[in-house]
Amino acid sequence: MQAIIQKEDIHEIVEGLSLDKEVIAPVLLPDGEALYSPIKRSDRVSLDSSHIPIMSAKEFFFGSEEELFQFERTSSQDIKITPAAEPKDRVFLGIRSCDLKGVRFLQNFFEKPYNDETVTRKIEKTVFISLGCVAPAEHCFCVCCDGGPFLVEGADAQLVDLEDRFFCETFTSRGEEIFSHHQNLLKPAQAEDWKKKSATIEKVDQRFTQRSYMAVGVKETSMNTVPEKVWEVLENRCMSCGSCTYVCPTCSCFNVFDRSTPEGGIRIRTWDSCSYSGFTREVSGHNPREHTRDRLKRRFFHKLSYQCLRSNGRIGCVGCGRCVVSCPAFVDMSTFVTLLRQAKSEKTNG
């Protein structure tokens, strides 16, 4: 389906979806920042791609703290396991292309070799209506690593902002089903709408101010030929705060612990970070990655190497630019590739 939706009619669609599904959408905060949030009122939705949500969509599928299961000892001294509650049917409206790429990356990661249904069931029960990015933020570089700004797969439907209206295109039967209940609000896309959409997409690439040559990073990390000078610079900068891990759409580091009760307990999973010195510390006290440099090498290898590409179908960076914004010391993906190219150039010219 290819149709036109007037912007003011989005509110009616959201109200209809909210009747029997949880709706998640970007909302604008009082300070001007955006955030993905469950919504009940349609007037909170902000489908303005110039405001990138502070956090990625990751937390709605791979929670920062989530229950995996409960366990209790029965009278016969057996252990009874109760799985976490079945996730609700959801619609994720206005998810950015880069964030949906991140969700699909996590889906692939948590499905293989064993299916972690705590994550994958949430993804399976969510209908994704992506928002084509017509106004990339200052530090976005999705065009450099196949993260956007528009999708041709992975979403159930996509909205493209044509200023006074949205061009709506569905890719799956689930996307078709969502909009089938609102046929009165849809108008068939005309030739002028297709022309406007094409012109909009062509203009977007010129608006990216952040360029990052990820192919260089993939090659050098895969071949283990990143100059030590690059690691030295990054090690001296990095504060091991973990912010890059938490804002990243694809990072999957986690820890697991039990929260005890008199009768049993709850198995909890929380986010962790490979930037932390204790992430790889063993019970003996030995730490194979005690030094910041070793942890940085592992992080960038895991993000950009061919091993990651082969295992997950793509590199572990979608170009959302959040690490650029959140890192106070410039130890982000874009800076890494820039330093790498500079070091290689100096070596060649020297």
Instruction: Give me the pLDDT at residue 282, please.
Output: 93
Mean pLDDT lowest for which of 66-70, 133-137, 233-237, 274-278?
Answer: 133-137
pLDDT grade, residue 350 (50/70/90)? Answer: low
pLDDT tens string 138-147: 889 998 888 9
Global confidence as pTM: 0.93
pLDDT, mean of residues 253-263: 93
Q: What is the mean pLDDT of the chain?
A: 92
Mean pLDDT lowest for which of 116-125, 140-149, 155-164, 288-297?
Answer: 140-149
In this structure, are residues 334 and 137 in contact, taking their beta carbons and an 8 Å threshold? no
pLDDT grade, residue 77 (50/70/90)? Answer: confident
Report the DSSP pairing between strands 2-6 and 186-188.
Answer: antiparallel
Radius of gyration of the chain from its Cα atoms, rounded to whole angstroms: 22
pLDDT, mean of residues 193-212: 85
Angle between helices 333-349 and 292-304 (to 10 degrees): 100
Instruction: Give me the pLDDT at residue 37, please.
Output: 96
> Coil, strand, or helix at residue 288?
coil
Contacts 24+ apart (CB under 8 A), 116-121: 118/66, 118/68, 118/84, 118/269, 119/61, 119/62, 121/86, 121/87
pLDDT, mean of residues 205-226: 85
In this structure, are residues 321 and 333 in contact, taking their beta carbons and an 8 Å threshold? no
pLDDT at 211 over 70: no
pLDDT at 262 over 90: no
pLDDT at 295 over 80: yes
Which of 79, 90, 163 lies closest to 129 in space, CA to CA? 90
pLDDT at 210 over 70: no
